[in-house]
């Protein structure tokens, strides 16, 4: 199955769960096996992210800590936030995250894509990116970019991203 068919094909293992969550922006993946336990994994586009849960996720994937005040501001100014979570003893456990900045019309950039290491290799990264792209396409955004560390370029290529075919190189300015 190609990347695009994955999220436009109604036969995927992702389906709406509006009745159970009473949240029109949530869907879930049924019965993901984690060791010998089956979990229901949920998507959400709700921007109400627990900063401490997000910090734990970022720590788990080995990212450098960022000031929570700045993370909160980045979340507030994001165009789209998609998270993956499950419930454990009625507590929401964040296991996946991505956020997007955009002009809301032509362009969007995906940032901070993370899947908890205990849940990697189970298709959740692909499902997360599929949901992000599906949400952006709902706004008719056609230019979607991201920055990828060298060790994950293969993953992004596998799901349809490519190095800029026009050879445009990104440029950055940093304070000295």
Query: Rounded to two decimals, what is the model's pTM?
Result: 0.80
156 among known catalytic residues: yes
- pLDDT tens-digit readout, 31-83: 666 666 788 899 999 888 999 999 999 999 999 999 999 999 999 999 999 99
Q: Which residues contact 151 (CB under 8 A, 6 or more apart)?
A: none
Distance in angstroms (rounded) separating the CA atoms of residues 175 and 137: 34
Distance in angstroms (rounded) separating the CA atoms of residues 131 and 14: 10
Question: What is the residue extent of each domain of the chain?
Answer: 3-147
HEC states along 14-57?
A: EEECHHHHCCCCCEEEEEEEECCEEEEEEEECCCCCCHHHHHHH
pLDDT for res 128: 96
Q: Please pick, among 52, 86, 156, 174, the residue that the annotation labels catalytic.
A: 156
Q: Do 57 and 71 contact (CB within 8 A), yes or no? A: no
Residue 30 — pLDDT band, cuts 50, 70, 90?
low
pLDDT for res 109: 97
Residue 9 — pLDDT band, cuts 50, 70, 90?
very low
Residue 22 — pLDDT band, cuts 50, 70, 90?
very low
Distance in angstroms (rounded) separating the CA atoms of residues 38 and 13: 15
User: Position of tokens 């109400």?
Assistant: 48
Residue 15 — pLDDT band, cuts 50, 70, 90?
very low
Look at residue 8 and tell me whether its pLDDT is greater than 50: no
- pLDDT tens-digit readout, 129-176: 999 999 999 999 999 999 888 889 999 999 999 988 777 777 788 888
Mean pLDDT of 13-31: 45
Q: Do 26 and 44 contact (CB within 8 A), yes or no? A: yes
Distance between start and end Cα atoms, the chain = 47
User: Position of tokens 């997360």?
Assistant: 128
Look at residue 84 and tell me whether its pLDDT is greater than 50: yes
Look at residue 1 and tell me whether its pLDDT is greater than 50: no
Q: Do 53 and 74 contact (CB within 8 A), yes or no? A: no
Q: 3-147 belongs to which homologous superfamily?
A: Gcn5-related N-acetyltransferase (GNAT) (3.40.630.30)
């Amino acid at each position: 199955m190609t990347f695009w068919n994955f999220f436009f094909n109604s036969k995927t293992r992702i389906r709406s769960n509006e009745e159970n969550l009473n949240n029109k922006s949530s869907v879930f993946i049924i019965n993901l096996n984690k060791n010998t336990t089956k979990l229901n994994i949920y998507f959400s586009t709700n921007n109400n992210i627990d900063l401490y849960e997000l910090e734990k996720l970022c720590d788990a994937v080995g990212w450098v800590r960022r000031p929570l005040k700045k993370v909160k501001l980045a979340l507030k100014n994001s165009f789209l936030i998609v998270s993956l979570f499950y419930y454990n003893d009625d507590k929401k456990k964040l296991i996946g995250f991505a956020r997007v900045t955009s002009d809301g019309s032509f362009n969007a950039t995906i940032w901070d894509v993370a899947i908890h290491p205990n849940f990697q290799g189970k298709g959740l990264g692909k499902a997360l990116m599929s949901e992000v792209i599906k949400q952006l396409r709902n706004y008719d955004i056609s230019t979607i970019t991201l920055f990828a560390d060298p060790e994950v370029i293969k993953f992004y290529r596998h799901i349809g991203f490519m190095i800029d075919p026009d050879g445009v190189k990104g440029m950055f300015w940093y304070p000295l």
